[in-house]
Amino acid sequence: MFHIIPSRNFGLNFDPSHFVWQGMDYIKPIYEFRDRLFHVHFKDIKLYSDKLAEVGSMAYPLDYMAPKLPGLGDVNWSKFVSALTDIGYDGFACIEIEDRAFEGSREKILESLILSKKYLGQFIV
């Protein structure tokens, strides 16, 4: 896609959770596309292998996985942040909240942000 749209203003919004549920490496592309990373999402994903075995990989993704707060799923945040540090990433980032356990009230939403920031604080200053 970068050959078709060669503009330096065309880049990636990188969310490691999407790679996890697709069974893809989410570390290697950080190095490969280091100059094209414009934004990073801190969102985790929990895969349920028993459900995946039951419904198969062609099922609706939420049938076998669930979005989670950073640290409550299967993303290895230490490796992810280490790779971002290796390439000198200093672009935009956000904590993306889709965890159903933290829906339903303003208090739960605020709690989810506090917990995410607390967890990610061990990796990011």
**Residue ranges of domains in the chain, CATH in brackets:** 12-120 (3.20.20.150)
Report DSSP state, residue 62: G
Tens digit of each residue's pLDDT (9 = 90 or more) over 5-22: 999 999 999 999 999 999
Give 8's strand partners: none
Nearest residue to 120 via CA among 86, 95, 91: 95
Nearest residue to 25 via CA among 79, 61, 99: 79
3-state secondary structure of 13: strand
Tens digit of each residue's pLDDT (9 = 90 or more) over 42-94: 999 999 999 999 999 899 999 999 999 999 999 999 999 999 999 999 999 99
